[in-house]
């Protein structure tokens, strides 16, 4: 049902039935096929403020891609040389990010460094494999949007829910 709703919204947007401001939104897609394991709050009830996606596979699932669709070039910065699957502190956390003109920043964390994981600028590119670098309990990708240090949650509200399975590229939300 959720997939049908996402498809319907996309069709309506393409037909300009949704106001022009909404059609100018930037779509964020899943970086690989997987389950949404956390959104606004963790299972414990504490604030998380991002979308976590896990592939159901062991650490090292291939092909984590940047999530923004369209002509938005990411500045990919590989922060570590480590390959960590089950966390060892946030100082060993790989990250890619893109800063938009309005001050919003989208980030993806925790992927594993692999041969194509190099500092680069790219549009919808592979950044590494699913991993657990940083402060994590297992392999996944963390997708976060913030502005001035505050996590924004509205970009995925109404599009993605905890427990949902997303195919590669399926809509997570809109910026």
Residue 12 sits in a domain whose CATH number is 2.70.70.10
Q: Burial level of 64, CB count in 10 A (0-12/13-18/19+)? A: buried
One-letter-per-residue 3-state SS of 56-123? CCCCCCCCEECCECCCCCEEEECCCCCCCCCCCCHHHCCEEEEECCCCEEEEEECCECCCCCCCEEEC
Nearest to 65 by CA among 2, 143, 133, 158: 143
**CB of 67 within 8 A of CB of 52?**
no
The model's pTM: 0.81
Please give the residue that has the higher pLDDT: either 17 or 40. Answer: 40
Domain that holds residue 81: 2-174
Count of domains forming the chain? 1
Residue 79's alpha-carbon distances to 90, 110, 112, 159, 172, in angstroms, are 11, 11, 11, 31, 25
**CB of 68 within 8 A of CB of 98?**
yes
**CB of 145 within 8 A of CB of 155?**
yes
In tens, the pLDDT along 119-157 reads: 777 777 888 888 887 778 788 999 999 999 899 999 999
User: Residue 148: what are its φ and ψ, rounded to 5°?
Assistant: 55, 40
Calculate what percentage of the chain has a pLDDT beyond 70. Answer: 80
In tens, the pLDDT along 77-100 reads: 666 666 777 777 666 777 888 888
- Distance between CA atoms of residues 106 and 115, nearest Å: 23
> How many other CB atoms are there within 10 angstroms of residue 115's CB atom?
6
């Amino acid at each position: 049902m959720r997939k049908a709703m996402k498809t319907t919204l996309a069709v309506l947007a393409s037909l300009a039935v949704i106001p022009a401001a909404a059609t100018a939104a930037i779509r964020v897609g899943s970086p690989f096929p997987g389950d949404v394991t956390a959104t606004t709050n963790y299972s414990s009830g504490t604030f998380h403020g991002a979308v976590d996606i896990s592939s159901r596979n062991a650490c090292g699932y291939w092909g984590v891609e940047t999530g923004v669709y369209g002509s938005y070039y990411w500045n990919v910065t590989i922060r570590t040389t480590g390959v960590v699957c089950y966390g060892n502190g946030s100082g060993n956390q790989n990250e890619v990010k893109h800063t938009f003109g309005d001050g919003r920043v989208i980030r993806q964390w925790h992927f594993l460094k692999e041969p194509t994981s190099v500092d680069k600028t790219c549009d919808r590119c592979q950044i590494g494999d699913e991993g657990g670098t940083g402060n994590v309990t297992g392999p996944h990708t963390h997708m976060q949007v913030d502005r001035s240090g505050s996590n924004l949650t509205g970009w995925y509200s109404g599009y993605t829910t905890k427990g949902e399975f997303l195919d590669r590229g399926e809509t997570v939300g809109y910026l």
